[in-house]
Amino acid sequence: MNDSEFIRLTDTVFARIQQGLEEAGLDFELPADGILEIEFDDGGKIVINRHSAAREIWVAARSGGFHFRHDGSAWRDTRDNTELFDRLATLVAAQGGGSVNFG
């Protein structure tokens, strides 16, 4: 995948994440291109960013860091193959954000 394909794919992911967060009533910020921060009432955050050099999406949460690589049809955790949106919904719930549907 080239740079423009990676940017296009990750832009789609970020839009889907934003929609799910908005529907769940959760606060988030976009401090820079390719970075999304989900903010929780207790001051905690989940940070999602695209890592262009590795062609991955990285997620930093209270429970740890996760790297996701596109397998041709979905973004999968490089350690255990969990799908990005499933992992993200679990992380949001674990940090007190309740249930989120990333459709």
Tens digits of residue pLDDT in 16-37: 999 999 999 999 999 999 999 9
Q: Is residue 98 part of a domain?
A: no
Tokens, residue 34: 């390719």
Q: Is residue 97 part of a domain?
A: no
Q: Is residue 74 part of a domain?
A: yes
Q: What domain range includes position 52?
A: 3-92
* Alpha-carbon dihedral angle through residues 52, 87, 65, 21, given to the nearest 10 degrees: 70
Q: Is residue 101 part of a domain?
A: no
pLDDT at 97 > cutoff 90: no
Cβ 58 vs Cβ 66: under 8 Å = yes
User: Could you give the CA distance from residue 86 to residue 63 in angstroms, rounded to a whole number?
Assistant: 15
Q: Is residue 16 part of a domain?
A: yes
Looking at the 3D structure of the chain, how many domains does it have? Answer: 1
Q: Is residue 82 part of a domain?
A: yes
Tens digits of residue pLDDT in 25-83: 999 999 999 999 999 999 999 999 999 999 999 999 999 999 999 999 999 999 999 99
Statement: the pTM of the whole predicted model exceeds 0.85: yes
Q: Is residue 34 part of a domain?
A: yes
Task: Give me the CATH number covering residue 28.
Answer: 3.30.920.10
User: Could you give the CA distance from residue 35 to residue 60 in angstroms, rounded to a whole number?
Assistant: 11
